């Protein structure tokens, strides 16, 4: 069986390895000049730099963790994000530590108790849910967070107000009723020692896998089965119109000193045009007398200008995707997966889990 996989990111690399270990021949292609897709990284000045923005691996799925751990060793990194709010650098998402950093003690103590009474400890509460509470102090808190963090950041990131996007997106930015400053609470978290590119390279290191870079897909290519992790609307020549995406522009700067900020990622919801600054040496504790940061500027996706990063989740786009999914159902030997193929926001572990599930199905 000849399998052709389009896209050499985590979804495609996972599928390639699974098929190869099942004894099948695999050719995996990518139009880019490197493997790894958007998790591609490289070393500069002794620092592992993520070309397409900061990527942190986290999962509570043991099957996914065990699979990926075959191809790398892990640096046990626990991700913490900070944000500039009212001139102070505080933990993000908004948690009890953020509350006490920004508000006077008497007010912070009162609001903390109400959060605990209403939701309990270690609970994540979506901002839009908190706004519905019939309590003056909790409504004040909800409005404060909405105005200072959620509204401006969402407008920059998505080009839409929070009410215009799907609740699944807004739910990713909760109030965390906890003292836990970590951005993720998954059991397994880390950065591959040596970087994501080395991890993907190990995945693809199998005699049944052939990698072809700088190779766009052509419909006259020969295959018995096709696995498409590119954009589903592109595969069907945009017959029903183009699915919209958000993209990112990254401005990388190397500074001639050892540290720029006090966390790997600092968000700027209300200030500047960029949404956040990432500093890469934190991820693997790289030692260098220089430091490299990236400023992230969200922007609309434009074909030929930038990359597709985030599907825009709303009812209109879901209906358009369903039209393409119906067409996909008529392609017996073509399988769509990954963030672009499924038109769904996947973290890395979810993308790998999706590839594993698809492999099991076929």
Q: Cα–Cα distance between 17 and 205 in angstroms, integer?
A: 8
b/e burial code for range 182-212 (CB count within 10 A of at least 16 → b) = bbbebebbbbbebbbbbbbbbbbeeebbebe
The answer to whether the peptide bond before residue 93 is cis (omega within 30 degrees of 0) is yes
User: Which option is the CATH number for 2-41+52-76+190-245+312-361: 3.40.50.970, 3.40.309.10, 3.40.50.720, 3.40.190.120?
Assistant: 3.40.50.720
Task: Write out pLDDT tens, residues 288-307.
Answer: 999 999 999 999 999 889 99
**pLDDT at position 199:** 98
Q: What per-residue confidence (pLDDT) applies to 253? A: 98
Residues of the chain with pLDDT under 50: none
- Residue 219 CB-half CA count within 13 A: 4
Give the β-pairing of 174-177 and 123-126. antiparallel
Cα distance between residue 253 and residue 188, in whole Å: 31
Domain with CATH 3.40.50.720 in the chain: 2-41+52-76+190-245+312-361
Q: What is the pLDDT of residue 171?
A: 58
Cα of 221 vs its chain's centroid, Å: 31
With beta carbons less than 8 A apart as the criterion, state whether 267 and 82 touch.
yes
Quote the pTM value.
0.93
């Amino acid at each position: 069986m000849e399998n052709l996989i389009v896209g050499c990111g985590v979804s495609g690399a996972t599928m390639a390895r699974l098929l190869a270990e099942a004894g099948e021949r695999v050719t995996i292609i990518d139009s880019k000049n490197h493997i790894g897709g958007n998790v591609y990284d490289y070393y500069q000045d002794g620092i592992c730099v993520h070309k397409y923005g900061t990527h942190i691996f986290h999962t509570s799925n043991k099957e996914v963790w065990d699979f990926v751990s075959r191809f790398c060793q892990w640096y046990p990194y626990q991700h913490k994000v900070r944000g500039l709010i009212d001139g102070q650098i505080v933990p993000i998402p908004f948690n009890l530590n953020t509350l006490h950093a920004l508000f006077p003690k008497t007010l912070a103590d009162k609001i903390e108790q109400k959060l605990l009474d209403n939701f309990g400890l270690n609970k994540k509460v979506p901002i839009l849910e908190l706004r519905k509470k019939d309590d003056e102090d909790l409504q004040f808190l909800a409005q404060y967070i909405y105005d200072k963090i959620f509204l401006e950041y969402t407008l920059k990131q998505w080009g839409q107000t929070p009410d215009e996007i799907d609740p699944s997106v807004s739910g990713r930015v909760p109030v965390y009723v906890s003292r836990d400053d970590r951005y993720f609470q998954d059991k397994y978290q880390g950065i591959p020692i040596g970087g994501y590119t080395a991890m993907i390279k190990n995945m693809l290191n199998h005699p049944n896998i052939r990698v072809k870079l700088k190779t766009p897909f052509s419909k006259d290519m020969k295959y018995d089965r096709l696995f498409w992790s590119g954009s589903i609307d592109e595969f069907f020549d945009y017959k029903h119109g183009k699915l919209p995406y958000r993209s990112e522009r990254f401005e990388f700067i190397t500074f001639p000193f050892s540290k720029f900020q006090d966390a790997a990622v600092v968000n700027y919801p209300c200030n500047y045009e960029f949404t956040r600054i990432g500093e890469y040496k934190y991820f693997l504790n790289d030692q260098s007398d220089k430091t490299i940061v990236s400023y992230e500027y969200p922007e609309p996706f434009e074909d030929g200008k930038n990359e597709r990063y985030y599907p825009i989740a709303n009812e209109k786009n879901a209906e358009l995707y369903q039209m393409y999914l119906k067409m996909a159902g008529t392609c017996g030997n073509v399988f769509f997966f990954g963030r672009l193929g499924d038109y769904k926001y996947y973290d890395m572990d979810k993308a790998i889990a999706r590839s594993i599930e698809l492999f099991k199905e076929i």
